[in-house]
DNA sequence: TTAAATGCAAAGCTTTTGCAATACT
DNA sequence: AGTATTGCAAAAGCTTTGCATTTAA
């Protein structure tokens, strides 16, 4: 079942696919948009708006932070991008190309691990049966300490 | 085992207990502090700093927001108060009188349910075994839709 | 040509910080 | 009296908004 108003699940394997989608929707393909989209495709992990503007520094042109935010919002409306929040700190944006994702974050090293929703179904079911809440980790992921950071910290207090 | 540096688990059933603790630590008992502490005791649910300043409006005196934040931080250092974050929105503060608490929040109605840590042990264990993360819900609670809000929304899309 | 999108600047919201004035001890 | 604490104001961090200018179509 597809929710009305939501963009259909779709695959965007390259920046041009996204830009074509925008053109198809009557949106313009500006230099700023090319850069934002390119940066998202180049990113290996979710990035903040600030990081996107910074990433453009190397490429020559600089995209204003406000424009980055506006474009991220536009891309999110198109279903191309999703964002979420880890602890304090800015929102993190990533391509939604592979469909819905959820996350779990390490508050110590900042690592963000992307998960398939099914991987969290057991957790979700546990929470639902115990507390009656239907929880999701796509927008507000769980925060904790990852295995590596726990190992580094040692086991003795 | 008690972590070094952490305040010992203690019970504060009345505002005076807290004020006495502060005096004992060489801290002064100001009008602002009386008000902040009183407001926390009077609150039925976790409150924001903003709500604490607003709550003082009825009592006559008004405590500056900055002072509220500073006092909340002081009280947190003393182990009297804890704060956590629900989605967007300001931090929420509550007495830690009954020991450690964790939370789960409804993103629709804003309800915050306090939980004993043991109630979340199964969830924690599930996450640990699957992902290697040791997660906590005391500072960044899970966010979802509570049972009542789901009922209200109906079951058909 | 013309309306969408940009850059810049300002503002909003939460929280923190500097500093002179106040008030607890 | 002496200093911790306050109030006010300004600033910091993230995000949004207003507006004149640029620019894609």
| pLDDT, tens digit (0-9, with 9 covering 90-100), for A94-108 | 999 778 999 999 999
Q: B97 burial class (0-12, 13-18, 19+ CB within 10 angstroms)?
A: buried
- What pLDDT is recorded for position A99? 85
Helix (H) or strand (E) holding A145: strand A142-145
Please answer whether residues B138 and B102 qualify as being in contact, where contact means their C-beta atoms are separated by less than 8 angstroms: yes
Q: What is the mean pLDDT of chain A?
A: 89
- What pLDDT is recorded for position B46? 96
> A116 is written with which tokens?
């398939």
List, in sequence order, every residue forming a beta bridge with B112; answer none if it has no partner. B105
A3 or A33: whose pLDDT is higher?
A33
pLDDT in tens, A52-111: 998 765 666 789 999 999 999 999 999 999 999 999 999 999 999 778 999 999 999 999
Q: Chain A closest CA to B55's CA: distance in Å? A: 26
Chain A contact probe: residue of B133, B145, B148 with most A CBs at under 10 A: B133
Strand C: list positions under 7 Å from protein Cβ.
4-10, 13-18, 23-25
- Give percent above pLDDT 70 in chain A: 87
End-to-end CA distance of chain A: 50
Q: Where are the beta strands (DSSP E) in A43-122?
A: 81-85, 91-95, 102-106, 112-115
- What pLDDT is recorded for position B75? 98
**A3 — contact with chain B (CB < 8 Å)?**
yes
Residue A116 has pLDDT above 90, yes or no: yes
CA distances to A30, A147, A156, B131, B132 from A153, rounded to whole Å, are 47, 10, 8, 18, 14
Return the sign of the alpha-carbon dihedral for residues B22, B25, B31, B36.
negative
Q: Which residues of chain B have pLDDT under 50?
A: 1-9, 156-157
Residues of chain B in contact with residue A136, where contact means CB-CB under 8 angstroms, are: 143-144
Q: Whole-model pTM?
A: 0.88
Q: Which residue in A has a C-alpha nearest to residue B111's C-alpha?
A: A133
Nearest to B104 among A115, A133, A144 (CB): A133
> A67 is written with which tokens?
């424009």
How many angstroms is C1' of D2 away from CA of B47? 35
Strand D: list positions under 7 Å from protein Cβ.
4-10, 13-18, 23-25
Q: Chain B closest CA to A102's CA: distance in Å? A: 13
**B104 — contact with chain A (CB < 8 Å)?**
yes
Residues of chain B in contact with residue A90, where contact means CB-CB under 8 angstroms, are: none
Residues of chain A in contact with residue B113, where contact means CB-CB under 8 angstroms, are: 131, 133
Residues of chain B in contact with residue A85, where contact means CB-CB under 8 angstroms, are: 87-88
């Amino acid at each position: 079942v597809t929710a009305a108003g939501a963009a259909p699940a779709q695959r965007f394997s390259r920046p041009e696919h996204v830009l074509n989608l925008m053109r198809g929707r009557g949106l313009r393909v500006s230099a700023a948009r090319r850069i934002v989209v390119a940066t998202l495709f180049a990113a290996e992990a979710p990035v903040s708006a600030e990081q996107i503007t910074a990433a453009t520094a190397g490429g020559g042109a600089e995209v204003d932070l406000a424009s980055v935010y506006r474009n991220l919002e536009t891309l999110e409306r198109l279903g191309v991008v999703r964002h979420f929040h880890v602890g304090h700190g800015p929102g993190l944006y990533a391509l939604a190309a592979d469909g819905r994702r959820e996350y779990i974050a390490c508050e110590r090293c900042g690592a963000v691990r992307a998960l398939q929703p099914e991987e969290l179904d057991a957790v979700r079911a546990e929470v639902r049966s115990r507390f009656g809440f239907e929880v999701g980790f796509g927008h507000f992921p769980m925060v904790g300490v990852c295995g590596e950071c726990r190992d580094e910290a040692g086991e003795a207090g």
